[in-house]
Each structure stands twice: as C-alpha cells, then as structure tokens.
C-alpha cells in the first residue's frame, strides 16, 4: 500500500508541473502546429510524388465461388481498368497484381448470367473505372459419360508397298467429362495414327480427340484415359520406286508448239517392285515404254501406259504394270523487241504543258509467235500517269498496256523525267 501511495504522489506532482503548460492558448498553438506540419508533409508528398491516372487493358476476369456441379462454358471477356494513385506506385504497378473477379455463389443452374466485375488493387491505389462494369457468363452442368468408343483414324493414302492387315486400340472405350451440352455432342473419341516411315507392324501411343458426329473436335472435354495404345499389323511388299515417262519426238511437235513441262504420272508416280534385294538395289527408278509426241499440238492424258520391264533383272516384278501419264503442250513462246514507241502523258492538268525526257521507250515482249508477229506499235500503249500533277518536275514510272496474250519482259527506260509548266504569257507588241 505504501508503494502505491508513493506512485500516486509522483503522478500528482507530474500533473501539477504539466498543468500550467496545458492552458487553452497552448493547446490551440499545439493543434495549429500539428495541422501545419501535416499540411507541409502533404505538400512535399504531392510535389515529389504527384498523383496520376493510368489505364490498363486486358485484365482477365476470374469466376469465383461457382458450385462444383457447374462449369463456365463461355469465354470470359477481359476488362480495362482505370486507376489513380501516387506516380511512383502507379508506374511500378504490373497488370498481374490486379485481380478482377465475378462472384457466382448464387448461381445454381445452367444459364446465362450477368455479373458485376470486382477489382482488387494493391493498397494506396484507387479504382476509378472498370470497362465493361459487367460481364456475361454462360454456365452449364458438369456431366460424365462412360463407354465412349475409340475409333482409330488411319491415313487415307499409304505407300503403295504397305497394306494394313488389322488395327486395334487399348482401351477400346473411354470416359469423358465436361459441360453437359458438349458431352452430349461427343459421338466418339478418335485415335489418329501416322503410318509414314513404318516398315513393319508397330505399337504407338496416341492422344485421344473427342469429336462430334461430323468429326469436328469438341472443346473443353476431358478424356480418361487421355491416350490409347494402337496396335497396327502391316504387310510390307518389296520396295517403292518412282516412274519417269519416256518421251520421244519432243523436238518434232507441231510448228510453234513446245512441252509446257515434264510429263507427270498420276495419281501417283510410285509403284512397288518386288524381287531379290540385291536386284532391287540396282534399280534407282523405272521408266515407261516410249511415248511418241511427234506432231502434237495439244495436251493429252494417256491411260495405261506400260512400265518398261525389258531391262529389269530376272525375278523382279512390278505392281501395277501400267500407269497414267499427263503431257502438257503449249504454243512456243518467243521474244520480240519494239523500239521507239512514243510515251504518252495521261491525266494532264488543264492549263499546263508537259515535257517528257526521253519521249520514247523500247519494249521487250514475250508471247506466242502467232500473237507477236502481227503486233504493231499502234497496238501498244506506253504512258505516264500525271494524276493532275501541279507545276513541277517529277520522276514517274513508265506503264504499259498490251494486247491479250502478250507480256512484256522489260521496258526501257523504266522512269522518265516529267516537267509540268504553265504556258508562257505572250508579251503585247508596242503600238506605233
């Protein structure tokens, strides 16, 4: 008790010594000084680190609190936010620190919902605007379906020496999960298999793809398991060789005609050759029996042209024994040079005079002889387009208009100098 009494006595003496200083005028001075100090601090802060605004786009919106039995099926749009704060904080802000969300806790059934976007910013930053303030979200019920069949997708075109004997997948059915509407559109799950490069039966692990009845992939579907093992049994026959057509008489086509390019074998220029490996190694390619094109003046398709087997080693066979060949013939092209063709000026501005330098051009033309031989300079238009150019000196490209079936290889010169001026005003003669 004595100790407590001494403590009270000390507190009373301290209060007695402080009370004279806490007169009304002293308290007022203290409050004013405190306000001035705060104002000075605020002024310094604003001067050294002023407030600015900043617009940040493409902020992703995250749906939250959706019941586990439902799933968002639409693409949630991004938003643009406008924020305000101290310059140092605003400029250092990264878009990843901004969180935009929509609360879906009250959604309990599939449908389309509009919800206000909530934006959370780092401390001391203020949100001024969200664009758009609301987003529309489509929600569906989660669904699951088991026993969906796996369909192996094999290439439509195979090397001619390969034959698929059988194919199967492990597993043969799978389970799919996802939005109910999309689960209902899945008709099957495909397992695409690549045969290219295979020379014997093989096993391959492929990723499964859910598709609808039209074979179009259905998005947002989870397949379990996501992969399947595909076993393909192949029969390999011999080796593949390319067929090159043998053409004779290409230099004796009808006058004025030429081959448009090498002849082609279709639908494929590859055939199967079978026999001893040592014999096949000596056969780099195969040829057809000779095709005589003497006197041809048009393109032709030839069916069932025999493969030339006369020089094949003993014991070597080919399949198929004939091929189809396409031979394209066109009129032979030649070149011709026309010199001194006048260059015209078109679209000249009224009231101006145009001078060209040079005034003529030379043309190197290409086309069939039947088109080039009767061609005259009057059949060709060589010009520069002034497009109502004002007075001045210009460097303009030379343009050429040609008859059908004629092409120009080059025009010389390609650029001409064009001077546009006004006519000189005549000086009146003095009267006597």
The domain ranges of the chain are 51-65+72-132, 142-236, 239-331, 333-421
Answer whether residue 417 shows pLDDT above 90. yes
Task: Assign 8 to helix, strand or coil.
Answer: helix
- Report the chain's mean pLDDT, rounded to a whole number: 87
Rounded-to-integer distance, Cα 246 and Cα 231, Å: 42
Secondary structure of residue 279 in the 3-state scheme: helix
Question: Hunting for tokens 């051009």 — which residue is that?
Answer: 361
According to CATH, the topology of domain 333-421 is RNA Polymerase Alpha Subunit; Chain A, domain 2 (2.170.120)
**354 to 231, 344, 395: CA distances (angstroms):** 80, 10, 13
Look at residue 46 and tell me whether its pLDDT is greater than 60. Answer: no
Domain 239-331 -> CATH class = mainly beta
Q: 3-state DSSP helix/strand/coil percent for the chain, to nearest 5?
A: 15, 50, 35
Look-up of token digits 């609190």: 65
Would you place residue 35 in the very low, low, confident or very high pLDDT band (cuts 50, 70, 90)? low
Distance CA 29, CA 218 (A): 77
Q: CA dihedral in degrees (102, 106, 110, 113; nearest 10)?
A: -40
Question: Please, what is the Cα angle at 65 between 63 and 69, to 5 degrees?
Answer: 100
Predicted pLDDT of residue 42:
54
CA dist 360 → 173, 337, 343 (Å): 79, 14, 5
**What average pLDDT score do residues 142-155 get?**
94
Cα(298)–Cα(291) distance, integer angstroms:
15
| Per-residue pLDDT, 430 | 62
CB 419 within 8 A of CB 396: no
- pLDDT for 338 beyond 70: yes
Residue 121 neighbours by CB under 8 Å, 6+ apart: 83, 97, 98, 127
For the full predicted model, state whether its pTM sits above 0.75.
no
pLDDT at 431: 60
- Contact criterion met (CB below 8 Å) for 371 and 406: yes
pLDDT digits (tens, 9 = 90+) for 162-194: 889 999 999 999 999 999 999 999 999 999 999
Is the pLDDT assigned to residue 152 strictly greater than 60? yes
Euclidean distance between CA atoms 428 and 396, whole angstroms = 37
Amino acid 40: pLDDT: 58
Bond from prior residue into 132 cis (ω within 30 degrees of 0): yes
Name the DSSP letter for residue 253: S
Residue 27 predicted with pLDDT over 60? no
pLDDT at 151: 96
What's the CATH architecture for 51-65+72-132?
A: Beta Complex (2.170)
Is there a contact between 125 and 89 (Cβ–Cβ < 8 Å)?
yes
Whole-number percent of the chain with pLDDT over 70: 88
Tell me the per-residue pLDDT of 238-280, one tens digit each, with 9 for 90 and over: 889 999 999 999 999 998 888 989 999 998 899 999 999 889 9
- Specify the higher pLDDT residue, 79 or 41: 79
Of 287, 282, 280, which Cα lies nearest the Cα of 316? 280
Could you tell me which residues are beta bridge partners of residue 14? none
Dihedral angle, C-alpha 265, 271, 273, 277, nearest 10 °: 100
Please name the fold of domain 142-236: RNA Polymerase Alpha Subunit; Chain A, domain 2 (2.170.120)
- Output DSSP code: residue 97: G
Residue 180, H or E segment:
helix 180-185
pLDDT (mean) for 340-369: 89
Task: Give the pLDDT of residue 28.
Answer: 61
Lowest-confidence region among 41-50, 87-96, 283-292, 317-326: 41-50
Alpha helices (runs of H) in 263-378, residue ranges in sequence order: 277-280, 369-372
Does pLDDT of 31 surpass 90?
A: no
Instruction: State mean pLDDT over 128-145.
Output: 94
pLDDT at 329 over 80: yes
On the question of a common fold for 51-65+72-132 and 333-421, the answer reads yes
Measured from the Cβ of residue 426, the count of other Cβ atoms closer than 10 Å reads 6
Q: Is the pLDDT of residue 305 over 70?
A: yes
CA distance 405 to 413: 23
State what percent of residues in the chain have pLDDT above 90. Answer: 57
Residues 355-382 have a mean pLDDT of 86
């Amino acid at each position: 008790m004595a100790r407590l009494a001494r403590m009270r006595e000390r507190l009373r003496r301290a209060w007695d010594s402080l009370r004279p200083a806490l007169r009304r005028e002293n308290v007022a001075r203290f409050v004013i000084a405190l306000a001035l100090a705060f104002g000075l601090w605020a002024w310094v802060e604003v001067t050294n680190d002023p407030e600015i605004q900043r617009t940040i786009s493409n902020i992703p919106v995250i749906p939250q609190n959706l019941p586990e039995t439902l799933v968002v099926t639409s693409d949630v749009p991004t938003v643009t936010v406008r924020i305000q704060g101290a310059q140092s904080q605003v400029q250092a802000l990264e878009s990843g620190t901004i969180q935009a969300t929509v609360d879906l806790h009250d959604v309990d059934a599939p449908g389309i919902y509009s919800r206000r976007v909530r934006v959370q910013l780092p401390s001391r930053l203020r949100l001024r605007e969200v664009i758009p303030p609301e987003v529309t979200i489509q929600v569906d019920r989660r669904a699951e379906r088991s026993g969906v069949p796996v369909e192996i997708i094999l290439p439509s075109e195979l090397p001619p020496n390969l034959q698929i004997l059988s194919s199967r997948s492990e597993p043969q059915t799978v389970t799919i999960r996802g939005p109910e509407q999309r689960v209902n559109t899945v008709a099957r799950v495909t397992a695409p298999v690549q045969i290219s490069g295979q020379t014997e039966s093989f096993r391959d692990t492929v990723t499964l793809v859910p598709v609808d009845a039209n074979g179009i992939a259905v998005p947002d579907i989870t397949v379990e398991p996501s992969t399947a093992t595909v076993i393909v049994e192949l029969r390999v026959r011999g080796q593949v060789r390319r067929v090159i057509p043998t053409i004779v008489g290409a230099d004796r086509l009808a006058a004025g005609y030429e081959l448009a390019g090498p002849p082609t074998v279709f639908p494929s220029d590859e055939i199967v050759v079978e026999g001893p490996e040592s014999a096949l190694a000596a056969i780099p390619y195969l040829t057809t029996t000779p095709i005589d094109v003497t006197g041809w003046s048009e393109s032709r398709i030839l069916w069932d042209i025999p493969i030339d087997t006369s020089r094949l080693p003993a014991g070597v066979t080919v399949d198929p024994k004939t091929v189809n060949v396409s031979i394209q013939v066109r009129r032979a092209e030649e070149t011709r040079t026309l010199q001194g063709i006048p260059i015209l000026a078109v679209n000249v501005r009224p009231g101006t005079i145009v001078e060209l330098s040079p005034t003529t051009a030379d043309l190197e033309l290409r086309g069939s002889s039947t088109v080039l031989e009767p061609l005259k300079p009057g059949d060709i238009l060589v010009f520069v387009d002034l497009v109502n150019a004002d007075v001045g000196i210009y460097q303009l490209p030379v343009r050429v208009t040609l008859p059908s079936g004629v092409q120009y290889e080059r025009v010389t010169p390609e650029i001409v100098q064009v001077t546009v001026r006004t006519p000189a005003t005549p000086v009146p003669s003095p009267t006597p």
